[in-house]
Amino acid sequence: MKKTVTRLADGRELIYFDAHDDTVRDAVDRRPLDPVTSASEIRHDPLLDENVAIASHRQGRVHHPPADTCPLCPTTEEWQSEIPDGSYEVVVFENRFPSLSGAGGRCEVVCFTSDHRASFADLDEERAALVLAAWTDRTAELSARDGVAQVYCFENRGAEIGVTLAHPHGQIYAFPFPTPRTTTMLRNAAAHRARTGRNLFDDVLERERAGERVVLAGGHWVAFVPYAARWPYEVHLYPTRRVTDLTHLGRAAREEFPRIYLELLRRFDRLFGTDEPPTPYIAAWHQAPAVHPEREEFALHLELFTVRRASGKLKYLAGTESGMGAFMNDVSPESAADRLREVASS
């Protein structure tokens, strides 16, 4: 892999990731951009003991532009985008409208391909491996920065999720605080260790691997619908050897990941038949905080889920979910696992 670091016209960092070492990236961003001055504010909710980012400057961000003015496509003679080069493999750059900025926070955009009409599921295994390498690189670099508490790599796909740009991309958030979900998992892992002497994630994975909700398994990864799934179709993907974050994955797990993950995404796209639009989903990497007393108890894993519960029907976060945080799932996890096995590639 070759990594090329450059700057956009307003000073933001942009990084090309290429599979071959002889690739040259020397294009210059010639747009007349003013320096980015946005800043978010972190406020603490004492009732929930959670932090909230206030980022009012994001109201002016680009919203569903036509394909010929997409800011994530390569630059052409007719259109100067966020990526100065005329083609690319994988690109990461600082978000022009970050939810987190200052005080250690940072938001980055990850473009998986220059093909505007593609999706992650359309990538070949070499490109998916390059995306994994980019996620790992950014996790290592951002985690080492002062003020960064946790690095979160994720993809939102589909207008139903709230995506404002159709181009295949994801994001990376460097949080200045451990996220609430992670804090809860670490607290429960510590209590489980004190009570049983064992690791909570190891015990959950052992139970799921022996059950009826396994969707896909390789030599180094296993995917299953969790026993208490919140979403109609939700899959958790774990490496079989527990590690805290992407930087600690072994070579064999890295090599197997593209095949396993691409198959999962392609199954999601077949869940509701070919007459439906592409399945909207969120793919979220859960990693241990950069510094935390219970860090070693955490297990890296990916959670993949869709808000579509049936053909033409969405799962809305209504009164119980949005108001109380109490999820009500319309699809049994066992039925979801059956369906995800039915739509296997072979």
Catalytic center residues = 169
Q: Nearest to residue 44, comparing CAs of 228, 176, 220, 240?
A: 176
Neighbours of 2 (CB within 10 A): 14
The rounded distance, in Å, linking the Cα atoms of 269 and 280 is 9
Tokens in use for 141? 């670099």
The rounded distance, in Å, linking the Cα atoms of 229 and 78 is 47
The rounded distance, in Å, linking the Cα atoms of 292 and 315 is 34
The rounded distance, in Å, linking the Cα atoms of 128 and 141 is 20
The answer to whether the CB of 13 falls within 8 A of the CB of 93 is yes
The rounded distance, in Å, linking the Cα atoms of 320 and 301 is 27
Tokens in use for 109? 């955009």
The answer to whether the CB of 60 falls within 8 A of the CB of 70 is no
Query: Which residue is listed with tokens 């050897």?
Result: 241
